Structure 1
Protein backbone atom coordinates (compact mmCIF):
# COMPACT_ATOMS: atom_id res chain seq x y z
CA UNK A 1 0.00 0.00 0.00
CA UNK A 2 2.81 2.42 0.87
CA UNK A 3 4.49 1.67 -2.43
CA UNK A 4 1.32 2.48 -4.36
CA UNK A 5 0.89 5.71 -2.42
CA UNK A 6 4.50 6.70 -3.02
CA UNK A 7 4.17 5.86 -6.71
CA UNK A 8 0.98 7.93 -7.04
CA UNK A 9 2.61 10.84 -5.21
CA UNK A 10 5.67 10.64 -7.46
CA UNK A 11 3.45 10.49 -10.54
CA UNK A 12 1.47 13.50 -9.35
CA UNK A 13 4.66 15.51 -8.78
CA UNK A 14 6.06 14.56 -12.18
CA UNK A 15 2.93 15.58 -14.07
CA UNK A 16 2.96 19.06 -12.58
CA UNK A 17 6.67 19.56 -13.36
CA UNK A 18 6.73 17.95 -16.81
CA UNK A 19 3.53 19.30 -18.28
CA UNK A 20 3.37 20.10 -21.98
CA UNK A 21 4.49 23.52 -23.17
CA UNK A 22 1.74 25.83 -24.39
CA UNK A 23 2.69 26.86 -27.96
CA UNK A 24 0.58 30.04 -27.70
CA UNK A 25 2.24 31.30 -24.53
CA UNK A 26 5.02 33.83 -25.10
CA UNK A 27 7.86 32.61 -22.90
CA UNK A 28 10.10 35.64 -23.32
CA UNK A 29 8.00 38.48 -21.92
CA UNK A 30 10.89 40.94 -21.66
CA UNK A 31 12.24 40.62 -25.17
CA UNK A 32 11.25 44.17 -26.11
CA UNK A 33 12.95 47.13 -24.50
CA UNK A 34 10.88 50.10 -23.35
CA UNK A 35 10.50 52.83 -25.98
CA UNK A 36 12.87 55.23 -24.20
CA UNK A 37 15.67 52.64 -24.38
CA UNK A 38 15.04 51.96 -28.07
CA UNK A 39 16.26 55.33 -29.31
CA UNK A 40 18.73 55.17 -32.16
CA UNK A 41 21.66 57.52 -31.46
CA UNK A 42 22.84 57.22 -35.07
CA UNK A 43 23.01 60.27 -37.35
CA UNK A 44 22.24 60.28 -41.05
CA UNK A 45 25.05 62.16 -42.79
CA UNK A 46 24.11 61.70 -46.43
CA UNK A 47 22.61 59.57 -49.17
CA UNK A 48 24.16 58.82 -52.56
CA UNK A 49 23.07 56.82 -55.59
CA UNK A 50 20.22 56.88 -58.05
CA UNK A 51 16.62 55.70 -58.16
CA UNK A 52 16.42 52.16 -56.79
CA UNK A 53 20.09 51.99 -55.73
CA UNK A 54 20.59 54.45 -52.89
CA UNK A 55 23.22 54.05 -50.16
CA UNK A 56 23.32 56.07 -46.98
CA UNK A 57 26.12 57.15 -44.68
CA UNK A 58 25.45 56.92 -40.95
CA UNK A 59 27.56 58.08 -38.02
CA UNK A 60 27.57 55.63 -35.09
CA UNK A 61 27.50 56.77 -31.44
CA UNK A 62 31.19 55.79 -31.28
CA UNK A 63 32.00 58.13 -34.19
CA UNK A 64 32.44 55.44 -36.87
CA UNK A 65 31.20 56.05 -40.41
CA UNK A 66 28.99 53.20 -41.65
CA UNK A 67 27.70 52.66 -45.19
CA UNK A 68 24.00 51.79 -45.06
CA UNK A 69 22.40 49.52 -47.65
CA UNK A 70 18.86 48.12 -47.62
CA UNK A 71 18.63 44.83 -45.71
CA UNK A 72 21.80 45.24 -43.64
CA UNK A 73 21.90 45.33 -39.84
CA UNK A 74 23.31 48.30 -37.95
CA UNK A 75 26.41 47.07 -36.11
CA UNK A 76 25.87 46.17 -32.43
CA UNK A 77 22.14 46.96 -32.53
CA UNK A 78 18.83 45.20 -33.15
CA UNK A 79 18.00 47.56 -36.03
CA UNK A 80 17.87 46.54 -39.70
CA UNK A 81 17.87 49.02 -42.59
CA UNK A 82 14.42 48.56 -44.12
CA UNK A 83 14.83 51.06 -46.95
CA UNK A 84 17.11 53.78 -48.26
CA UNK A 85 15.29 56.51 -50.16
CA UNK A 86 16.37 59.77 -51.76
CA UNK A 87 16.15 61.80 -48.55
CA UNK A 88 15.63 59.30 -45.72
CA UNK A 89 16.52 55.90 -44.28
CA UNK A 90 13.91 53.71 -42.57
CA UNK A 91 15.02 51.38 -39.77
CA UNK A 92 13.05 48.36 -38.56
CA UNK A 93 13.61 46.55 -35.27
CA UNK A 94 14.61 42.90 -35.62
CA UNK A 95 12.61 42.23 -32.43
CA UNK A 96 9.33 43.10 -34.23
CA UNK A 97 8.11 45.09 -31.25
CA UNK A 98 9.29 48.62 -31.97
CA UNK A 99 7.77 50.89 -34.61
CA UNK A 100 9.90 51.72 -37.63
CA UNK A 101 12.17 54.73 -37.33
CA UNK A 102 12.83 57.20 -40.11
CA UNK A 103 16.09 59.15 -40.22
CA UNK A 104 15.68 62.04 -42.66
CA UNK A 105 18.13 64.50 -44.11
CA UNK A 106 17.67 68.12 -43.18
CA UNK A 107 18.20 70.68 -45.87
CA UNK A 108 16.32 71.95 -48.89
CA UNK A 109 12.80 70.91 -47.80
CA UNK A 110 13.29 72.15 -44.24
CA UNK A 111 14.56 75.49 -45.56
CA UNK A 112 11.54 75.79 -47.90
CA UNK A 113 9.16 75.04 -45.00
CA UNK A 114 10.83 77.67 -42.81
CA UNK A 115 10.65 80.26 -45.61
CA UNK A 116 6.97 79.45 -46.24
CA UNK A 117 6.19 80.04 -42.56
CA UNK A 118 8.24 83.25 -42.55
CA UNK A 119 6.36 84.58 -45.62
CA UNK A 120 2.94 84.19 -43.97
CA UNK A 121 3.56 87.05 -41.52
Structure 2
Protein backbone atom coordinates (compact mmCIF):
# COMPACT_ATOMS: atom_id res chain seq x y z
CA UNK A 1 0.00 0.00 0.00
CA UNK A 2 1.32 3.42 -0.97
CA UNK A 3 0.05 6.72 0.34
CA UNK A 4 0.15 9.91 -1.73
CA UNK A 5 2.30 12.89 -0.83
CA UNK A 6 1.85 16.26 -2.51
CA UNK A 7 4.47 19.00 -2.30
CA UNK A 8 2.67 22.33 -2.67
CA UNK A 9 3.46 26.01 -2.27
CA UNK A 10 -0.11 27.07 -1.44
CA UNK A 11 -3.27 25.37 -0.25
CA UNK A 12 -5.69 26.75 -2.84
CA UNK A 13 -6.20 23.29 -4.41
CA UNK A 14 -7.16 21.81 -1.02
CA UNK A 15 -10.74 22.81 -0.13
CA UNK A 16 -12.12 21.79 3.26
CA UNK A 17 -13.87 18.70 1.85
CA UNK A 18 -10.56 17.37 0.51
CA UNK A 19 -8.60 18.06 3.71
CA UNK A 20 -10.42 15.62 6.00
CA UNK A 21 -8.50 12.62 4.63
CA UNK A 22 -5.10 14.32 4.57
CA UNK A 23 -2.30 15.25 6.93
CA UNK A 24 -0.81 18.72 6.53
CA UNK A 25 2.89 19.15 7.20
CA UNK A 26 3.40 22.91 7.51
CA UNK A 27 4.59 25.65 9.81
CA UNK A 28 1.31 27.54 9.54
CA UNK A 29 -2.07 26.59 10.95
CA UNK A 30 -4.95 25.65 8.68
CA UNK A 31 -8.36 24.16 9.43
CA UNK A 32 -10.03 20.91 8.46
CA UNK A 33 -7.08 18.51 8.21
CA UNK A 34 -7.09 14.97 9.63
CA UNK A 35 -3.90 16.01 11.43
CA UNK A 36 -1.43 18.85 11.19
CA UNK A 37 2.24 18.66 12.14
CA UNK A 38 5.30 20.84 11.84
CA UNK A 39 8.65 19.62 10.67
CA UNK A 40 11.31 19.35 13.34
CA UNK A 41 14.19 21.79 12.99
CA UNK A 42 17.31 20.38 11.32
CA UNK A 43 19.64 18.56 13.66
CA UNK A 44 22.62 20.69 14.76
CA UNK A 45 24.69 17.52 14.34
CA UNK A 46 23.68 16.93 10.72
CA UNK A 47 26.59 15.39 8.81
CA UNK A 48 29.01 16.06 11.65
CA UNK A 49 29.41 12.51 12.93
CA UNK A 50 29.85 10.77 9.58
CA UNK A 51 28.07 8.32 7.29
CA UNK A 52 25.76 5.85 8.99
CA UNK A 53 25.26 7.87 12.17
CA UNK A 54 21.57 7.66 13.05
CA UNK A 55 21.29 11.35 13.97
CA UNK A 56 23.11 12.51 10.81
CA UNK A 57 21.92 10.12 8.14
CA UNK A 58 18.18 10.94 7.97
CA UNK A 59 16.51 14.26 7.38
CA UNK A 60 13.73 15.38 9.71
CA UNK A 61 11.28 15.13 6.83
CA UNK A 62 12.22 11.49 6.20
CA UNK A 63 11.73 10.65 9.86
CA UNK A 64 8.38 12.47 9.90
CA UNK A 65 7.23 10.58 6.80
CA UNK A 66 8.25 7.26 8.38
CA UNK A 67 6.29 8.07 11.54
CA UNK A 68 3.21 9.09 9.56
CA UNK A 69 3.29 5.84 7.60
CA UNK A 70 3.65 3.81 10.79
CA UNK A 71 0.74 5.72 12.38
CA UNK A 72 -1.42 4.99 9.33
CA UNK A 73 -0.62 1.27 9.39
CA UNK A 74 -1.23 1.01 13.14
CA UNK A 75 -4.43 3.08 12.98
CA UNK A 76 -3.13 5.81 15.26
CA UNK A 77 -5.23 8.98 15.06
CA UNK A 78 -7.75 9.91 12.41
CA UNK A 79 -7.40 7.87 9.18
CA UNK A 80 -5.70 9.51 6.21
CA UNK A 81 -4.51 8.50 2.75
CA UNK A 82 -2.68 11.66 1.70
CA UNK A 83 0.09 13.85 3.07
CA UNK A 84 0.38 17.48 1.94
CA UNK A 85 3.72 19.23 2.43
CA UNK A 86 3.41 23.00 2.33
CA UNK A 87 6.78 24.52 1.44
CA UNK A 88 8.13 27.84 0.23
CA UNK A 89 8.51 28.12 -3.54
CA UNK A 90 12.31 28.16 -3.40
CA UNK A 91 12.37 25.07 -1.13
CA UNK A 92 10.17 22.93 -3.37
CA UNK A 93 12.91 21.46 -5.66
CA UNK A 94 15.03 20.50 -2.65
CA UNK A 95 12.10 18.86 -0.84
CA UNK A 96 11.07 16.92 -3.95
CA UNK A 97 14.66 15.72 -4.44
CA UNK A 98 14.89 14.63 -0.80
CA UNK A 99 11.67 12.62 -1.07
CA UNK A 100 12.71 11.02 -4.37
CA UNK A 101 16.12 10.04 -3.01
CA UNK A 102 14.84 8.42 0.19
CA UNK A 103 14.30 4.72 -0.52
CA UNK A 104 11.78 4.22 2.28
CA UNK A 105 9.75 7.28 1.30
CA UNK A 106 9.62 6.07 -2.32
CA UNK A 107 8.51 2.62 -1.21
CA UNK A 108 5.72 3.96 1.02
CA UNK A 109 4.52 7.06 -0.86
CA UNK A 110 3.66 8.17 -4.38
CA UNK A 111 5.27 11.59 -4.66
CA UNK A 112 3.29 14.18 -6.61
CA UNK A 113 5.17 17.34 -7.45
| TM-score under structure 1 length normalisation | 0.24
| Bigger fraction of residues in helix | 2
| Bigger fraction of residues in strand | 1
Larger of the two Rg values belongs to structure? 1
| Greater RCO (Cα-Cα under 8 Å, separation 6 or more) | 2
| TM-score under structure 2 length normalisation | 0.25
